[in-house]
Amino acid sequence: MAGPIDLYDVANAERDARAHFSRRAFVCTSTGCLSAGASAIKQQLTDTVTDAGQEQGVQVVPTGCFGLCSRGPLVRVETRDQQPTLYEHVDTDTAQLIADDHLLEGRQASADTVSLELPFFARQEKVVLSNAGKIDPDRIEDYVGQGGYRALQSAVETMTPEGVVKTILRSGLRGRGGAGYPTGRKWEFLSLADGDQKYVVANGDEGDPGAYMDRTIMETDPHRVLEGLSLAGYATGASQGYIYVRAEYPLAIERLERAIREAKRAKLIGRNVLGSDFRFDIEIRIGAGAFVCGEETALMKSIQGERGTPTLRPPYPTERGLWGKPTMIQNVETLANVPVILERGAEWFASLGTSESKGTKVFALTGSLNNTGLIEVPMGITLREIVEEMGGGIPDGRAFKAAQSGGPSGGCIPAPYLDTPVDYENLQKLGSMMGSGGLVVMDETVSMPEVARFYMEFCRDESCGKCTPCRAGTVKMHAFLDRIVSGVGRRRDLQHLESLCHTVRATSMCGLGQSAPNPVFSTLEHFRDEYLELLVPDEAFGPDGNGSSPDAQRAVATSPGGVR
Amino acid sequence: MSPRTGPRPNVPVTIDGVEHKAFEGETVLELAQRVGVRIPTLCHLEGLSIYGGCRLCVVEVTGDRRLSPACALEVTAELEVTTQSWTLHEHRRRIVELLFAEGSHVCAFCVSSGSCELQDLATEHDVDHIHYDFAHPDAGIDASHPKYSLDRDRCVMCTRCVRVCDEVEGAHVWDVAMRGSQGRIVAGMDQPWGEVADCTWCGKCVLVCPTGALSFKGRATSEMVHDPEVVAFLSTAREQGEWLDRKADA
């Protein structure tokens, strides 16, 4: 049996191979651009180059997400002597132009381009997505060529597991799945847990509407997830890792599967990782697309092949998790940060971001914006910078109204708070949350009660049904919202809605139910007038409407929960 | 639960301002029941695994912002819980109302009226009116079993039947299908109950059902009397070895 590959040999060979090419075209092959015809474009570029017999000097690379998804399909051309050019909205016609003029002749094609100086690109700080648009996700050599797996190598060769945990603790990295729990603390819990068998799980069950950060990371740089997960295993003493991906992400699954196969062949995971005594295996588990399976206890049930419903905590997964063994669940983006932290040091990482929230955060920027797509920004950037500069403002000169962060568990941030630095604490103070990174921008034409109804419909459909308040409560909250939005709501409907929101938040079993009322609370806090305008006034119900009718009395008698 | 032997209770726990001594590993609900403090429950049943789904037993814990289900909350020294407050009462009343609103619970012609835990909970929480729209579900009646029948519209999804069949009888006839408000109890592989060969006809699911969802056939209004305590009796008897004929052994 051959030993593990030599990372430096592979990287050097890659660099030499790259030096042969005078021109390189990078075609985005993430889900967004693929659905717009990127694979045909890539084929066309390759064919043209091959037909011209130039494949020794010109390379066409299928790569991961460039970020500016609203302008896809995107093709970037790099040559030795010119600045890189990014072509937007490429179709078969422009692809032919790009191939003929730029790839073969070396002069810029007369096709639509995007300036790489745009704030959308210039303001980004790429840590997790540093390889996005640079490497072919299907080739392990590309990842190694960018310095990949060196963090794992130096960890297993020169560091103790405790040393790795301490580094992560010092870096101040916090969970990117939403709650922002300190990652190092979780690692510490698992490393101290008793057990002959421990598990680490990468949570790729991203479910928030409009969010695709984790999908992009898995599609763009699958080996980074594997390396992060292996490092988590090494630090905590786990020998088995799982990547839980939802079935709606077939491309991510395909690329991860290929990555696992190649990493095993290169002895980067498996029985003796990089020739050391550390044993670590990774398997993929495919979720059936239930939102609640992103909750850690439901996720573990699903991995075990059971019905994906949450269970009571405590015991916490790090005490009793998969099959009763200590288990740690980490978001994909969290794990993707780990190799960089070990390579560049905890202090470097801690220098990014704010005092409580370190590093960067990937956001999926969607909604009423000129530039939508995926961005990675340092923590502490203001919402105004994201929306106005990077997002390029709202189309057609409309005014910004609010941004929803944290998906159905989060809340909206209205215009007066645009200058708030984005980090875990500030968003929580505003009644929202960081969430996994979905950021939906809404303009002045949007009705906030309708937004609340949309998210409540989502929660209603995704409730697992185990606990009463979430199962039945989301149905009734949605019914109240529907009545209000449809213009037949009365004041007591709003009162019942609010009291029910308090009960569902206070009594639900897991995060789904506890946070389901958040969009209602936050839209009510900032846009209560919009709700009141939609209500049918009490006077409309005749002379008894002011409190003498049984209906009005009942409305008064039902005081909101939380008030004694 | 079996009468505890061994060490005396020594964990100081305050319930509603009164200090009690709890056994180690005891839950707040077990302690409360032992010392005579009433905490409403629905899905919980002594002798079955803890489910924590109905959320009626939630209590306030001093120093914790969140409410905790008493059925699953293990005692710790100096734990302070409040089981009765206006807030809790309101939360519980709304949960009972939600249960009424999502099902089809008409006591006047229900087979279990008078032996129904949902009815008792409604009385306990002053439910004289449902403030939410009734869902009027039509989840179906399964009367294919020769001895028993299932009316899914009266089901509160406590999963006692699922657990007793799996954990005590060992047949695992019942399970939950679908999710959210579409969730329902199914027999076998979502077959008519009468066709499920695994069913042993033991009737434990019927005895533990808190409402009129599961009943003996041939009973008219108010004639179905449940006996959930049978599970506690069975598990105690098993633990104590009461099955064995000790005289014959001797």
Q: Which of B65, B82, B90, B175 to mutate to test the interface with A (most CBs of A within 10 A)?
A: B90
Q: What is the pLDDT of residue A66?
A: 93
Cβ neighbors of B150 (< 8 A, separation 6 or more) are B141, B142, B143, B185, B187, B193, B213, B214
For residue A3, what pLDDT is reported?
76
Q: And the tokens for B7?
A: 């060490």
Contact A374, A129 (CB under 8 A): yes
The confidence band for A543, taking pLDDT boundaries of 50, 70 and 90, is: low
A115 close to A102: Cβ distance less than 8 angstroms:
no
Report the pLDDT value the prediction gives residue A559, as an integer from 0 to 100: 31
Q: Is the pLDDT of residue A16 over 50?
A: yes
Which residue of A503, A515, A564 is the best one to mutate when testing the B interface, meaning the one whose CB has the most B CBs within 10 A?
Answer: A503
For residue A551, pLDDT over 50 is answered with no
The mean per-residue pLDDT over the stretch A28-42 comes to: 94
Interface test with A, best of B166, B174, B179 (most A CBs within 10 A): B179
Residue A434 has pLDDT above 90, yes or no: no
Contact B54 A467 (CB under 8 A): yes
- Mind listing the pLDDT tens digit for each residue in B159-192? 999 999 999 999 999 999 999 999 999 999 999 9
Contacts of A314 in chain B (CB under 8 A): 74
Average per-residue pLDDT for chain A: 92
* pLDDT category of residue A553 using cuts at 50, 70 and 90: very low
Res. A562 pLDDT band, cuts 50 70 90: very low
Percent of chain B with pLDDT over 70: 95
In the predicted model, is pLDDT for residue B34 greater than 60?
yes
Asked whether the predicted pLDDT for residue A444 surpasses 80, the reply is yes
Taking contacts as CB-CB distances below 8 angstroms, the residues of chain B near A502 are: 91
Three-state DSSP state, A422: coil
Across B76-87, average pLDDT: 96
Mean pLDDT of A18-29: 93
pLDDT of B95 > 60? The answer is yes
Given a cut of 90, is residue B246 above it in pLDDT? Answer: no
Phi and psi at residue A108, in whole multiples of 5°?
Answer: -60, 135
For the whole model, what pTM was predicted?
Answer: 0.93
Confidence band for A489, pLDDT divided at 50, 70 and 90: confident
Q: What is the pLDDT of residue B250?
A: 52
Chain A environment of B101 (Cβ under 8 Å)? 472, 476
In chain B, whose CA is at the least distance from the CA of A512? B180
Name the minimum distance, in Å, from the CA of B242 to any CA of chain A: 31
A554 vs B contacts (CB less than 8 Å) = 129, 131
Q: Shortest Cα distance from B245 to chain A (angstroms)?
A: 36
Chain A, chain B: beta-carbon pairs less than 8 Å apart: 111
Beta bridge partners of B60: B67, B82
Q: Select from B85, B135, B180 the Cβ nearest to the Cβ of A464.
A: B180
User: pLDDT tens digit string along A252-279?
Assistant: 999 999 999 999 999 999 999 999 999 9
Which residues in chain A have their CB less than 8 angstroms from residue B94's CB? Answer: 469, 473, 499-500, 503, 561
**What is the arithmetic mean of pLDDT over B1-7?**
58
| Cα–Cα distance, A190 to A240 (Å, whole number) | 13
Give how far A561 is from chain B: nearest CA, Å: 6
Inter-chain residue contact A506 with B91, CB threshold 8 Å? yes
pLDDT confidence of residue A536? 82
Mean pLDDT lowest among A421-430, B66-75, B240-249: B240-249
Chain B residues with CB-CB distance to A561 below 8 A: 87, 90-91, 94
DSSP state of A270: B
For the beta sheet containing A113-114, the strands, ordered from the edge strand earlier in sequence to the opposite edge, are: A58-63, A23-28, A75-79, A85-87, A113-114
**Both structure tokens of A157:** 């060769």
Over pLDDT 90: what percentage of chain B? 88
Pick B90's closest partner by Cβ from A460, A469, A561: A561
Question: With contacts defined as CB-CB under 8 Å, which chain B residues touch A293?
Answer: none
Chain A residues at the B interface, defined by Cβ less than 8 Å, are 290, 292, 307, 311-312, 314, 460-469, 471-476, 479, 496, 499-500, 502-503, 506-509, 554, 558-559, 561-564
Looking at residues A235-258, what average pLDDT do you find?
96
Answer yes or no: is pLDDT of A2 > 80: no
Is residue A267 within 8 A of residue A276, CB to CB? The reply is: no
Distance from CA of B102 to the nearest CA of A (A): 6
Q: Is the pLDDT of residue A38 over 50?
A: yes
Calculate mean pLDDT across residues B12-20. 97
Residue B73, pLDDT > 90, answer: yes
What is the token pair recorded at B165? Answer: 């069949």
Share above pLDDT 70 across residues of chain A, in percent, rounded to a whole number: 95
